[in-house]
Copies of this chain bind each other. A is one copy, B any other.
Amino acid sequence: MSETPSWWRDEPLRFSPILEAAIAEFGAKGYHGTPVRDIARRVGVTVPALYYHHANKEAILLALLDGVTRDFADRARAADADAGDDPVRRLQQVVESIASGMTSRPELAALQSELGYLSGENRERQTAVRDEIEAVLTAVISDGVGSGDFVVDDLAETVRAVLGMLQWIPTWYQPGGPSSPADIALRYARLATRLVGVNDRARR
């Protein structure tokens, strides 16, 4: 691509100074191992000043997860809209948009595993945004099945398999490692097309 498309996460997602301090502290000590006062100290505010912006530690986690998941959902939709009608291209761009989010700030993507610690209402809010991402992939794969481009056993399970392999990226990705974010995104786009039954062996 000569010009970076809007759905490609090139510049890492950025947050307010308090949330950036929280990301650094959670990265070093884990969400559960981080006292709120350490976040306040890192950003140079008092604990009451921090509580003015975020009611408690869970609210900080929620603000981060909301920002990250919303970014994934918006870019997935933009990647789909930008792809035209070809189901293979639509699937590849949506997968590339998600992969680029996983590699741009892996420490943020890894926070998703703390989702279970959110209380009921907050967890539902997060789940709703995740459902948007799943809905984009479901529509793309369903259209491809309808047009005969894709062959799947079970639509929902195939969507989950695509998301599962993408969600795993932050557990092994090392910035500056042998594969660039663009390499990884292209490989996962190809793996995803394989999962929907596109025979790409002749294309090598």
User: Within 8 Å CB of A184, what residues of B?
Assistant: 157
Proximity bits, A25-48, B CB within 8 Å = 1, else 0: 000001011000000000000000
* A163 CB → nearest B CB, Å: 7
* A128 CB → nearest B CB, Å: 16
Proximity bits, A147-183, B CB within 8 Å = 1, else 0: 0000101100110111111111100100000010000
Instruction: Write the chain B residue with the least CB distance to A160.
Output: B172
Q: Does A83 contact B (CB under 8 A)?
A: no
Please state the number of chain copies in the assembly: 2
Q: Does A77 contact B (CB under 8 A)?
A: no
On whether A201 and B197 interact (CB within 8 A), knowing A165-B161, A166-B164, A168-B168, the answer reads: yes
The count of residues in chain A whose C-beta lies closer than 8 Å to any C-beta of chain B is 36
- Residues of chain A from 60 to 101 with CB closer than 8 A to chain B in the complex: none
Contact B117 A30 (CB under 8 A): yes
Cα A75 to Cα B25 in complex, Å, equals 38
Sample of 12 further A-B pairs with CB below 8 A, known A153-B187, A199-B201: A32-B32, A153-B190, A154-B179, A157-B179, A160-B168, A163-B168, A164-B168, A165-B165, A167-B168, A191-B195, A194-B194, A195-B195
A selection of 18 A-B contacts at a CB cut-off of 8 Å is A33-B117, A154-B187, A157-B179, A157-B184, A157-B187, A158-B191, A161-B165, A161-B191, A162-B165, A164-B165, A164-B166, A164-B167, A165-B168, A167-B168, A168-B168, A194-B195, A197-B200, A199-B201
